[in-house]
């Protein structure tokens, strides 16, 4: 018979607050067109993107995260000292170690929390949210800070006509804490490693180090059509599975917050899922671009700030990207 005491966590977990940070510099399509042969009309028709934000040297991964975290903590009414864990999802923090989560935890004033980074691309926020839910329910932390943050401008090849216009920078954060009722549904997540080459870094760091000085700095590249087909058809299935796992239908939804990869993907998923007209759909990609792990919390924050969504709404969130990995769940908005 086990001598281990049972966990003393909360029966359920919920998102208590959300915050976002977008860099001050707004970059129009006209700026992108200085380095690629394209047009504003083509970029908008292919992606729905009109502008994106690019970080200054001072707007580091840590600095943007601290700003977003401060807003999330204030929104949740939780002090930094109450945070028991900090989870950061990013692919654009260039120090392999230590985890940027430790720096962020220190800068916000958290007291010796667990702190670690995860790499799950555009599904990273969903992965972090799932881990945070488990920590709260299990009792390892009463409150968990989950951050999605990217400086993808550092990994953008401005001469690549297929990707130069896609990526933006920013940070989004949520505070996850105890709940008396279910407010974060079961997560449907997974990976399809046989498709890992469809979105990838062009050159591994060790290969970049060993090549001559004329080697281009590593960037993100993708097979656009393959990714589009996978996202539209396979991720709509995953989204439906998340609804089923939560025990609701599309009619029960108030809000749909997909990863802000591309407006065409978003619109196609809405159609495939047959979402009712009353469902508010996040389309933050138009002015923020694709910010990978940051895109869902940034879109969530904007919907709530503008009144397009309200506290207590039921939302389906789904992230998908490099790996290929995905994560979908139904949440109650803070």
User: Is 19 found in the same domain as 163?
Assistant: yes
Q: Is the pLDDT of residue 209 over 80?
A: no
pLDDT value, residue 211: 66
Same domain, 312 and 216: yes
pLDDT digits (tens, 9 = 90+) for 161-203: 999 999 999 999 999 999 999 999 999 999 988 888 888 887 7
Give 40's contacts (C-beta < 8 A, 6+ positions apart): 29, 30, 33
Instruction: Among 180, 202, 217, give the residue marking a domain's end.
Output: 180
pLDDT at 143: 98
- Domain holding 234: CATH number? 3.40.47.10
Provide the 3-class DSSP secondary structure of residue 320: strand
Spatial separation of the C-alpha atoms in residues 279 and 49, rounded to whole Å: 22
Across the range 207-217, mean pLDDT stands at 74
Predicted pLDDT of residue 128: 98
Domain-located, residue 5: no
The confidence score (pLDDT) of residue 199 equals 83
- pLDDT grade, residue 60 (50/70/90)? very high
Res 133 pLDDT > 80 = yes
Same domain, 169 and 187: no
Please determine, for residue 213, whether its predicted confidence score (pLDDT) is greater than 70. no
pLDDT at 289 over 90: yes
Confidence band for 278, pLDDT divided at 50, 70 and 90: very high
Q: What is the pLDDT of residue 85?
A: 98
Last residue of some domain: 155, 180, 205? 180
Confidence of residue 218 (pLDDT cuts 50, 70, 90): confident
Are 251 and 144 members of one domain?
A: no
Does 263 have pLDDT greater than 70? yes
pLDDT at 39: 97
User: Minimum mean pLDDT among 44-53, 150-159, 203-212: which range?
Assistant: 203-212
Identify the domain containing residue 273 by its residue range. 183-331
Confidence check: pLDDT of 6 > 80: no
Average pLDDT, the chain: 94
> Do 258 and 316 have their domain in common?
yes
3-state helix, strand and coil shares in percent for the chain, rounded to the nearest 5: 40, 25, 35
Q: How much of the chain, in percent, has pLDDT values that exceed 90?
A: 82
State both tokens at 221. Answer: 């590249």
Domain membership of residue 2 (yes or no) is: no
pLDDT score at 212? 65
Predicted local distance difference test score (pLDDT) of residue 308 = 98
Residues 117-124 have a mean pLDDT of 96
Q: Does 1 fall in a domain? A: no
Query: Do 188 and 274 fall into the same domain?
Result: yes
Are residue 95 and residue 150 in the same domain, yes or no? yes
CB 171 within 8 A of CB 159: no
Q: Is residue 77 part of a domain?
A: yes
Same domain membership, residue 254 and residue 137: no
Residues 287 and 160 in one domain: no
Residue 89 pLDDT > 80: yes
Task: Give the β-pairing of 114-118 and 83-89.
Answer: parallel
User: Measured between alpha carbons, how far is residue 55 from residues 184, 288, 325 in Å?
Assistant: 32, 12, 26
Residue 271 burial by CB count (10 A; 0-12/13-18/19+): exposed, middle or buried? Answer: exposed
Q: How many domains does the chain have?
A: 2
CB under 8 Å, gap of 24 or more: what pairs does 223-226 form? Answer: 223/197, 223/198, 223/199, 224/162, 226/195, 226/198
Per the CB < 8 A criterion, the answer to whether 199 and 261 are in contact is no
Q: Residues 204-222, buried b or exposed e (16+ Cβ, 10 A)? A: eeeeeeeeeeeeeebbbbb
* Residues classed as catalytic: 122, 259, 290
Same domain for 166 and 188, yes or no, is no
């Amino acid at each position: 018979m086990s001598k281990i005491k049972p966990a003393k966590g909360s029966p359920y977990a919920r998102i208590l607050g959300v915050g976002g940070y977008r860099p001050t510099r707004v970059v129009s399509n006209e700026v992108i067109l200085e380095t690629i042969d394209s047009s504003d009309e083509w970029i908008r028709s292919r992606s729905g993107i009109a502008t994106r934000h690019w970080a200054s040297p001072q707007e580091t991964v840590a600095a943007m995260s601290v700003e977003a975290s401060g807003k999330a903590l204030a929104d949740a009414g939780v002090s930094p000292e109450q945070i028991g864990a900090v989870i950061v999802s990013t692919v654009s923090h260039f120090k392999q170690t230590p985890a940027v989560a430790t720096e962020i935890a220190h800068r916000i004033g958290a007291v010796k929390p667990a702190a670690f980074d995860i790499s799950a691309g555009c599904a990273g926020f969903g992965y972090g949210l799932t881990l945070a839910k488990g920590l709260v329910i299990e009792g390892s932390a009463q409150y968990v800070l989950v951050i999605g943050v990217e400086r993808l401008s550092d990994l953008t090849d401005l001469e690549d006509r297929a990707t130069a216009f896609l990526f933006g920078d920013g940070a989004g954060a949520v505070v996850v804490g105890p709940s008396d009722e279910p407010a974060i549904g079961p997560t449907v997540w997974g990976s399809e490693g046989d498709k890992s080459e469809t979105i990838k870094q062009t050159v591994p760091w060790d290969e970049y180090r060993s090549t001559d000085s004329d080697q281009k700095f590593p960037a993100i590249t993708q097979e656009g059509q393959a990714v589009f087909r996978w996202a539209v058809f396979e991720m709509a299935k995953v989204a439906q599975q998340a609804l089923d796992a939560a025990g609701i239908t599309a009619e029960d939804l108030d809000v749909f917050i997909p990863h802000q990869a591309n407006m065409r993907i978003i619109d196609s998923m809405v159609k495939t899922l047959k979402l009712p007209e009353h469902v508010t759909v996040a389309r933050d990609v138009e002015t923020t671009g694709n910010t990978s792990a940051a895109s869902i919390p940034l879109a969530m924050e904007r919907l709530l700030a503008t009144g397009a969504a309200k506290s207590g709404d039921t939302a389906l969130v789904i992230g998908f990207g490099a790996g290929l990995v995905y994560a979908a769940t139904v949440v109650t908005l803070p």
